[in-house]
Amino acid sequence: MALHTTTLKLAPNNGNACGSCLQQELLKAEGIKAVDEGKGNLLVVTYEDLPDPAFDVERLIAQTQTSLEQRLRHETLILSGLDCADCAATLEKGLRRMQGLVHVSVNFATSKMAVGYEARGVSHARLVKRVRELGYSVVSPLQVSVLNEQVAEKQEAGASCGCGSCGDEHADEYAHAEEVPVARQNALQQYWQSARAWLPTLVAALLWGIAFLLSHIPGVGWLSALFYALAICVGGYRVALSGFFALVRGRTLGINLLMTIAVVGAVALGQWSEGAAVVVLFALGEFLEGFTMERVRDSLRSLVALSPKSARIKVEGEERQVLVDALRAGDIVLVRPGERIAADGKILSGTTTVNQAPITGESIPVEKQVGDEVFAGTLNEHGFIEVQASKRAQDSMLAKIIALVQEAQGSRAPVQRFVDRFAQIYTPTIMVLALLVAIVPPLAFHGVWTTWIYKALVLLVIACPCALVISTPVSIVAAIGRASRSGVLIKGGAYLEALARVKVLAFDKTGTLTQGRPVVMDVLPLGTLTEDELLSLAAGVESRSEHPLARAILREAERRRLAWNEPENFLALPGRGAQATIGADTVLVGSAKLFPACDTHTLKSIETLQRAGKTILIVGRNEEPLGLIAVADQVRPEAAQAIAQLKQAGVEQIVMLTGDNEQTAKAVAQHTGVDQVYAGLLPDQKVREIKKLLTAHTSVAMLGDGINDAPAIALSSVGIAMGAAGSDTAIETADVALMKDDLAQLPFVIRLSRAALRTIQTNIVFSLFIKALFLLLTLLGVTNLWLAIFADTGAALLVIAYSMRLLRFEKSK
C-alpha cells in the first residue's frame, strides 16, 4: 500500500492536548505508520491507504485531539530539589510507571515538569505524592508568587490545559497562583517550604560535628556513635527514601540508591564516622549544586521578570489600571517615563527613547516616534507615550522569547544524548565491578572481607555520574541564556552544537549582506538634460510603478525636492521596464533591452557601472537614450567586519547565494570578503547549492530572512534568520534567530556556540578523568569514602562553575 504524509499545525497557547500525547494516541490507530514532532508546533503523520473508503486521516487527527482534550488533563508543575540531570531522568522514569499517566517530560534546565494524565486515574494529589516519594517536591502556589511574581500559568499555557476551567480540586489555587494576595500568605508555611532544602543538611552537619568532638573524649564512644547515627538518619532519610522508591517505582539504580548502599555498608562495617560523613557531604553537595543551578536559571527568570504585572489603559478618555493579562489588541496603553511597556504595539502619540535590550540585545536606546513599533518588556526611558496594543500579553514577542528559551534550555544536544546513554551503561557496570571487588578477592585469593567490601563501597560512591551527566545541560542552559540576553534565540542544544561545528556559512545577499533597500547612486545625462531634469522625467514614469527600483527613483526625486509631470497611458513592461506618455512624448525607463540602438559610449558606461555592482536604468524619449540612472542596494556597513570576524572564529568558507546578477553579486562579495558567489539563483536552485555544500561539508549554516529563503534554510544544518524582532514567521521557521537587524550578532553567536562545545568537552574529559583516577586509587587502597564523596561532589561543583562562565561570555573580542 502507498504511504502518504500530512502535517498538522498544533495551535499554541490554547490548552490543546500536547503533541506527545497526541503522537502516542495516533500511533494506536489503524493505518497510522509514524508520527513525528516537527518545529513550530507541527505534527507530521505518515499513513497508508486503507480499503475503508471512509478513512480520513485529517478527520482522525481532529477526532483524536478532541477526545484527548476531553479525556486528559495537562499540568506544568514547578519542582524543587532538581539539582542534577540524572535526577530528572530518574524522576521521569519513576513517574512513567504510574497507571493513567500518559505523558511526562521533566525540564531540568527550568526545573519544570509537564504531565498529561487520565482524569479518572490520576489526581493532582497523587501526582504530587509520587514526586515526593521519589525525593523531590512540587513548589506550591504560595512559593510561586513569592519566588517569582511572573512565573505563572500564562507562560505555560501552551503546555497545560488551562485547568482553571476543568473542575479539578487544585485548579483554582494552582492555575491562578498570582492572585493569592501576599498579605494573606502563611509566613510559617512559607519558611518551612523553603527550609526543607537546607535544614536537614544543617542539622546533620551539626550532629556530625558533635559526634566528631565526642569521639575524642575517652569513655563516650557509644554517645559518639549515637550522634553519628542521628546525623545519618536526619541527613540521609530523604536520600534513602527516594533511592528506594526510584528502585521500586522506576526500576532505576539512581544516585540516591548508590549513596544509601554505601552508607549502610559503612555502618555494617562499623565505620559510623565515614557513613555519617558520606551523608553530610552528599547532602551538602546536592544543596550547593541546587544553589548554583538556580544561579544559572536566573538568566531565564530575569527575562520573565521583565513583564509588567499591570498596565494603565485609556477607556473613553479615562485612565484605568488593569492586569496585563486583561490587555487585548486595540487597547490604548499609557506608558510614563521609566516604566516598562506592557504590550507589543505601535506608538499613537509622543516621542521617547526605548531600551530594547531584552528583545534585540541592543545596548544603546532607540529613538521612537509616532507609528514606530515597540515591544512588551522594553523600557521607556523618557517621554510619555500612548501605545496601541497589537497583541495580547500572552502572544507578545517577549512571551514568545521566554517560551522558546524555556523549551530550548530543556532540549538535548547530540553530545548530551551520548552522555546519557553512556551513564546508563556506566553506572550498572561500576555496580557489577563493585560486587566483584567485594567477593572475588576474599573467595579466590583469601583477602580480608572487610577490606574488600570497604573498597567496593568506595567504588559505589565513585559510580555516581553526577558531574558527567550535568556537564552538558548546564553548559547548554548557560549558553542559550547568554545568547537570549544579547538578542539571539537558539532553539535548542542540537542547534547550539550544530552551530559550533559549522565550517561553511551561506548568505543570502539582499537584506542580509545588503540593506535590502535600493538607492540611486548615480545620475548621468547623455545629452543636454541636467541631472534633475533627467531624474524628474524618470520619476514621472515610475510614479505609477510598484517596482523597488521605481521607489528608489521616487525617493531620490523627493529628496531633491523635484516636481514631475503626471504620466498618461502607463504600461509596465515585465523584464524590461516601463513606459508612459508625458506631454507629447513616449518616455521609457528600463534596461538596455528597451534601447537596441545604444551607441558604444553608452554601452561602455553601462558596463563600467555594472562592474561596480550597480543596476542600470536607461531613461529615453521615443527610443532615444537621454541618460543613465545607477541604482544599488547598499552593502551593510558592518558586513565586511562581520565576515572577517566569522573567519577568525573558525568559519572556513563564506558563500553567497543570490538571485541577483553575477556582476552585482561579485561586487558585493569583493567588498565584504565573501569567498564564493552563486548568482542568478531561483529558490529551488539555492536548495540545490545547499545540497552540494552539505555533500562536501558536514555542517552548513544558511542565513536569510527566514521567509524568502525558507527552503534553503530548512535544508541547511542550521537555519538562521536575521532581523526577526517583530516577525513571528521568522522566529518560527529558523533554528537561530538574530532579533536585531545586525550582522555583528552572528560572529558573537558562532564564538559562543564554540565556547559552549569546548566547555562541554572539557567537562566530560574532566569528569571521566576524576572517575578513572579514583577507580585506580581505590583498587590500590589509597582512597576512602571521605575522599570519594568529596571528589564526586567537588567535581560536580567544578563542572557547574566552569559552565557558568558562559553566562559572562564577552560579546566582542
Residues 6+ apart with CB under 8 A from 258: 243, 427, 431, 460, 461, 463, 464
Q: Which three cell numbers stand for residue 140?
A: 506550591
Residues 6+ apart with CB under 8 A from 621: 537, 585, 586, 587, 588
Residue 768, CA distances (Å) to 125, 259, 376, 462, 735 in order: 40, 19, 45, 11, 32
Q: Which three cell numbers stand for residue 133?
A: 516519594
CB 523 within 8 A of CB 534: yes
Q: Which residue type occupies 409? A: Q
CB 389 within 8 A of CB 330: yes
Catalytic residue among 86, 508, 735, 742: 508
Q: Identify the residue whose cell numbers are 506608558.
A: 335
Residues 6+ apart with CB under 8 A from 596: none
CB 660 within 8 A of CB 762: no
Q: Identify the residue whose cell numbers are 499591570.
A: 310
Measured distance CA(686)–CA(706) in Å, rounded: 14
Q: Which three cell numbers stand for residue 351?
A: 516621542
670-708 burial code (b ≥16 CB/10 A, e <16): eebebeebbbebeeeebbbbbeebeeeeebbbbbbbbee
For residue 271, how many other CB atoms are within 10 A of its CB?
20
> What DSSP element (H or E) covers 101?
strand 101-107
Residues 6+ apart with CB under 8 A from 635: 513, 514, 515, 668, 671, 672
If 0-12 CB within 10 Å is exposed, 13-18 middle and 19+ buried, where does residue 364 land?
exposed
The three state secondary structure string of 538-601 is HHHHHCCCCCHHHHHHHHHHHHCCCCCCCCEEEEEECCCEEEEEECCEEEEEECHHHCCCCCHH
Measured distance CA(284)–CA(297) in Å, rounded: 20
**Torsion of Cα atoms, 381 then 384 then 388 then 389, to 10°:** 40
Strands 585-590 and 577-582, bridge-based pairing = antiparallel
If 0-12 CB within 10 Å is exposed, 13-18 middle and 19+ buried, where does residue 7 land?
exposed
Q: Which three cell numbers stand for residue 369?
A: 516616534
Measured distance CA(497)–CA(479) in Å, rounded: 11
Beta bridge partners of 318: 315
Measured distance CA(200)–CA(600) in Å, rounded: 92
If 0-12 CB within 10 Å is exposed, 13-18 middle and 19+ buried, where does residue 424 land?
middle
Q: Which three cell numbers stand for residue 224?
A: 559518639
Strands 718-722 and 700-704, bridge-based pairing = parallel
* Known catalytic residue at 508: yes
Beta bridge partners of 633: 518
Sign of CA pseudo-dihedral 75, 78, 81, 82: positive
If 0-12 CB within 10 Å is exposed, 13-18 middle and 19+ buried, where does residue 229 land?
middle
Largest CA distance in the chain: 123
Q: Which three cell numbers stand for residue 378?
A: 522594553
So which residues are the catalytic ones? 508
